[in-house]
């Protein structure tokens, strides 16, 4: 049967990228998405903003909601200091299978724990299952109707501390109006918008950076 787009994306990585070289994996996926088939990775333009937020923060404990093919997982993990850990949650088993191979090709498996399942099931288990008290950085890029409930769930589970940074993808396209309204009006967050474009297109999109004030 016909291959899937994530399978073709993985083939492009294995064909073009060098094992153990995260930058070549990122470039191979960007090339595939620009010249072969669009895919919903955060992309190179918003990816550069993601890089700058991560580099400035130097987080030890990172949570990513929505792995997809592992593009942003690799972008983040390549910048983490030794000993830092990234937990990434993916609901879709087919995406998770591809992401594991992309992460492995980049040689970053030691920094990354990919967990398959629903974010609402795993967020309450971060402490007892992963020994995580609080996260330093959270990248939200999963189902857009889950950004707000999962943020409230992270608050309720005590996973955010004074200074934890949430960075949300797609706040314009597809858009997350309820989440934006919440983080921009809540006294518990200092929020700012980074205007950019939908990956590999000219359409407007952006990232919302929200610092939890405790």
Measured from the Cβ of residue 41, the count of other Cβ atoms closer than 10 Å reads 25
Q: By CB under 6 A, is residue 143 in contact with ligand 77K? A: yes
* Three-state secondary structure call for residue 24: helix
Task: Assess whether 170 carries a catalytic annotation.
Answer: yes
Q: By CB under 6 A, is residue 132 in contact with ligand 77K? A: no
Q: By CB under 6 A, is residue 64 in contact with ligand 77K? A: no
Q: Binding residues for Mg ion, how many (CB under 5 A)?
A: 3
Q: By CB under 6 A, is residue 173 in contact with ligand 77K? A: yes
How far is residue 97 from each of residues 74, 144, 175, 205, 207, measured CA to CA in Å? 15, 22, 27, 28, 27
Active-site residue identified among 30, 44, 136, 141: 141
* Three-state secondary structure call for residue 202: coil
Active-site residue identified among 30, 44, 46, 170: 170
Judged by CB under 5 A, the residue of 67, 88, 119, 170 near Mg ion is 170
146 CB-near residues (< 8 Å, 6+ apart): 65, 119, 120
Q: By CB under 6 A, is residue 78 in contact with ligand 77K? A: no
Q: Which of ligand 77K, Mg ion, none interacts with 92 (beta carbon under 5 to 8 A by kind)?
A: ligand 77K
* Three-state secondary structure call for residue 155: helix
d(Cα 70, Cα 99) in Å, to the nearest integer?
A: 5
Q: Which of Mg ion, ligand 77K, none interacts with 75 (beta carbon under 5 to 8 A by kind)?
A: none
Task: Assess whether 169 carries a catalytic annotation.
Answer: yes
Q: Binding residues for ligand 77K, how many (CB under 6 A)?
A: 13
Q: Which is nearer to ligand 77K, 92 or 188 (CB)?
A: 92
Q: Which of residues 110-149 bind Mg ion (CB under 5 A)?
A: 141
d(Cα 83, Cα 71) in Å, to the nearest integer?
A: 21
* Three-state secondary structure call for residue 59: coil
Length of the chain: 214
Task: Assess whether 136 carries a catalytic annotation.
Answer: no
Task: Assess whether 46 carries a catalytic annotation.
Answer: no
d(Cα 2, Cα 101) in Å, to the nearest integer?
A: 20
Judged by CB under 6 A, the residue of 142, 154, 180, 182 near ligand 77K is 142
Task: Assess whether 56 carries a catalytic annotation.
Answer: no
Report which of 136, 125, 118, 130 is spatially closest to residue 65, judged by C-alpha positions: 118
Question: Which positions touch ligand 77K (CB under 6 A)?
Answer: 40, 66, 68, 92, 141-143, 169-170, 173-174, 198-199
Question: Which positions touch Mg ion (CB under 5 A)?
Answer: 141, 169-170
User: Which of the residues are catalytic?
Assistant: 141, 144, 169-170, 199
């Amino acid at each position: 049967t016909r291959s899937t787009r994530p399978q073709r994306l993985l083939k492009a990585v294995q064909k073009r990228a060098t094992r153990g070289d995260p930058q070549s994996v990122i470039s191979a996926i960007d090339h595939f998405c620009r010249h072969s088939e669009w895919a919903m990775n955060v992309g190179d333009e918003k990816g550069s903003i993601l890089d700058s937020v991560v580099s400035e923060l130097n987080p030890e404990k990172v949570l990513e909601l929505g792995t997809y093919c592992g593009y942003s997982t690799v972008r983040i993990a390549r910048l983490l200091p030794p000993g830092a850990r990234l937990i990434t949650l993916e609901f879709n088993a087919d995406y998770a299978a591809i992401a594991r191979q992309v992460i492995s090709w980049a040689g970053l498996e030691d920094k990354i724990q990919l967990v398959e399942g629903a974010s609402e099931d795993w967020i309450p288990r971060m402490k007892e299952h992963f020994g995580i008290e609080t996260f330093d950085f959270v990248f939200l890029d999963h189902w857009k109707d889950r950004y707000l409930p999962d943020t409230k769930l992270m608050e309720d589970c005590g996973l955010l501390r004074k200074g934890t940074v949430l960075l949300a993808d797609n706040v314009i396209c597809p858009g997350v109006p309820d989440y934006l309204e919440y983080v921009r009006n809540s006294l518990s967050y200092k929020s700012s918008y980074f205007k950019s474009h939908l990956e590999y297109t000219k359409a407007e999109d952006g990232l919302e950076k929200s610092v939890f004030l405790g």
